[in-house]
Amino acid sequence: MPFVRIDAHGTHAARLDALGRAVHDALTETLGIPPDDRFQVLTGHDGTGSALRHDDYLGVHRDEGIVFVAITLRSGRTTAQKQALYRRIAELAQDYAGTEPRNVFVTLTENSDADWSLGHGLAQYVS
């Protein structure tokens, strides 16, 4: 049950949709997330009303093609699974949206079953 937030420069709906598909497909391929388990917030930033800031941290040159992907999910994935996820997101972001892999910045935040309510005011993952 990942919850995904994607922030990108520009407000082009097709690019945001392509980035959303890239992240979702990577999640299903690398972590086995069910295909119908998609919860995403996709936000384009125009540089006037909202903006993204970045530098060349750790020698990675980023530019206006930057995409920030924040994924919240239940804990339990191995380091190898996370690394595979990062690689696949970058590959699919390039394939689907033309985003250079160097511009794909991903963070994962893990939590527990009790940290989710999927509706009706219930904690569905808690027995």
Residues 107 and 73: beta-carbon distance below 8 Å: no
Q: Say which of 2, 34, 35, 101 is annotated catalytic.
A: 2
Taking phi over 0 as left and psi of -120 to 50 as alpha, with beta for the rest, 66 belongs to beta
Pick from 70, 84, 64, 48: nearest CA to 15? 64
Q: Based on the residue annotation, tell me whether 35 is a catalytic residue of this protein.
A: no
Catalytic residue positions? Answer: 2
